[in-house]
Amino acid sequence: MKGRILVVDDEEIVLKSCERILKPEGYEVSTSSSAPKALEMLGQNGSFDVVITDIKMPGMDGIEFMKKLREKDPDISLVLITGYPSQESIKEALALKIVDYLPKPFSPALLAETAGKAIEFRKKTSHPEAGDFGPEMAGKLTGIINAHKGKPGALIPVLQQAQELVGYLPPAVQRHIAHGLNVPVSEVHGVVSFYSFFTMKPKGKHNIRVCLGTACYVKRAEEILHKLRDKLQIDIGEVTADKQFSLESVRCLGACGLAPVVVVDKDTHGSINPVKALDILTQYQ
């Protein structure tokens, strides 16, 4: 058994999906449709390695639930399921030291990957703030922080270099930077979430963004997205097995006159059709 996971969500379909995906991966999975019942389960069934909880639930929301979890087990790994969270709730979640986010709807591959990271985080008791990037990389990250510490406007260059080093900016990295620069973690998260060039999820060597804005949508942008998904064999928000490509959909890229538009890294490709979209991939292989 890889570890014990408790999933808490008021949607039955989410609970069943998590069971269906995680049990074959070797995890012992328990579920609860309410936070108060989940707290009772922690007392009755012993400890869990990871708790995956929704942020919006009737009776007791995810933030209040996680606070009570932290009182019961300060070292438990917490993963937050987010639909449309407010900035304030995300800040509170970061302060509670969540390991990662699971945006709704999430793919089976993303759930399995996130669960694995959360289990590993639980094991790394000697380096709790190293998260999934390990103590060696944490040391390099500290070196970046120290090189900019005390300088005006240090946060953005530190975040840029941290993203180049780690590949993305998960909660553990944000907390590490906040601690190193002596700034609130809410300030770090605010900058990361405001600027589009920062990401809180892993990306491939080449990141593909497909615009689904109105101008692009009416010109078969959704078909282009489906073609890319089939060719790369990944879903939106995922990374190919060789880490070469990641795929995103966006609401507007500000290039409506070139619709439909696909952006790969910093390269804008306009007037694309499903066949041309696949041809573009060859330029980055």
Please list, in sequence order, all residues whose beta carbon lies within 8 angstroms of the beta carbon of residue 10, skipping any fewer than 6 positions away.
33, 34, 54, 57, 58
Q: Taking residues 109-115, what's their average pLDDT? A: 85
One domain for residues 93 and 30 = yes
Name the domain boundary from 84, 110, 126. 126
Give residue 51's domain range: 3-126
One domain for residues 117 and 151 = no
| Residue in 63, 3, 55, 65 with CA at minimum distance from that of residue 28 | 3
Average pLDDT of the chain, as a whole number: 85
Q: What is the pLDDT of residue 147?
A: 94
Residue labelled with tokens 């041309």: 276
| CATH number for 217 | 3.40.30.10
One domain for residues 12 and 99 = yes
* Domain-embedded: residue 159: yes
One domain for residues 161 and 235 = no
Q: 184-218 pLDDT, tens per residue?
A: 877 888 888 777 678 877 788 898 989 988 888 88
Q: What is the pLDDT of residue 125?
A: 44
Q: 126-185 pLDDT, tens per residue?
A: 344 444 566 788 889 999 999 999 888 899 999 999 988 888 888 888 888 988 998 887
Domain total for the chain? Answer: 3
* Domain-embedded: residue 199: no
| CATH number for 92 | 3.40.50.2300
One domain for residues 25 and 114 = yes
Name the domain boundary from 101, 126, 151. 126
Q: 222-237 pLDDT, tens per residue?
A: 999 999 999 999 888 8
DSSP per-residue codes, 256-275? GGG-S-EEETTEEE-S--HH
One domain for residues 19 and 115 = yes
One domain for residues 50 and 145 = no
Confidence of residue 124 (pLDDT cuts 50, 70, 90): low
One domain for residues 184 and 95 = no
pLDDT at 77 over 80: yes
- Burial of 48 by CB count in 10 Å (0-12 exposed, 13-18 middle, 19+ buried)? buried
Name the domain boundary from 91, 109, 126. 126
* Domain-embedded: residue 201: no
* Domain-embedded: residue 79: yes
Q: What is the pLDDT of residue 34?
A: 92
pLDDT at 30 over 90: yes
One domain for residues 144 and 70 = no
Q: 206 vs 97, which has greater pLDDT? A: 206
Confidence of residue 13 (pLDDT cuts 50, 70, 90): very high
* Domain-embedded: residue 200: no
pLDDT at 250 over 90: no
Q: What is the pLDDT of residue 96?
A: 82
Q: What is the pLDDT of residue 158?
A: 95
* Domain-embedded: residue 262: yes
* Domain-embedded: residue 248: yes
Confidence of residue 29 (pLDDT cuts 50, 70, 90): very high
Instruction: Kindly state the helix (H) or strand (E) to which residue 206 belongs, with its residue range.
Output: strand 206-211
One domain for residues 37 and 57 = yes
* Domain-embedded: residue 25: yes
| Residue in 136, 142, 189 with CA at minimum distance from that of residue 161 | 142
One domain for residues 140 and 121 = no
One domain for residues 71 and 176 = no
